[in-house]
Amino acid sequence: MNTLYMNKLISFVVTALLLICFTACDDKNNDITSSPDHDGSIESAITVNHLDSLHDILITKHRIWNHFMEYKTIEYRDTIPTLDIERTTGENQNGDTVSVHVKKDYEIFITVK
């Protein structure tokens, strides 16, 4: 076979493979959605509200969707201990940066199986 022909063939194959790889390596996360599938899904929300200086309230809410209708809403409320106070910077009404003490927020991690 001709060397020029082989070089063109190799270049074409390498270019095609790179194009396929870059097309397949999409950074877009297809699992992210703006709204749940109301035909059949469970929508869950977890929030933590500060109750007083010693307690927070953990609210877990589940909405069950079936055939585009909300079948049921289940809500749990649990009292949990508050976390410590942390020092951070904030802005007052004059626009000045000041040091303030605020309650720490819980980090929420969800495992779905």
pLDDT in tens, 29-45: 666 777 778 888 998 99
Structure tokens at 74: 């289940």
- The pLDDT of residue 100 is 85
Output the pTM of the full model. 0.59
- The pLDDT of residue 72 is 95
Place of tokens 């309230």: 57
3-class SS of residue 30: coil
**DSSP letter (8 states) at residue 67:** T
Regions of the chain short of the pLDDT cut 50 = none
- The pLDDT of residue 66 is 93
Q: By the 8 A CB rule, do 99 and 85 touch?
A: no
- The pLDDT of residue 22 is 61
- The pLDDT of residue 88 is 85
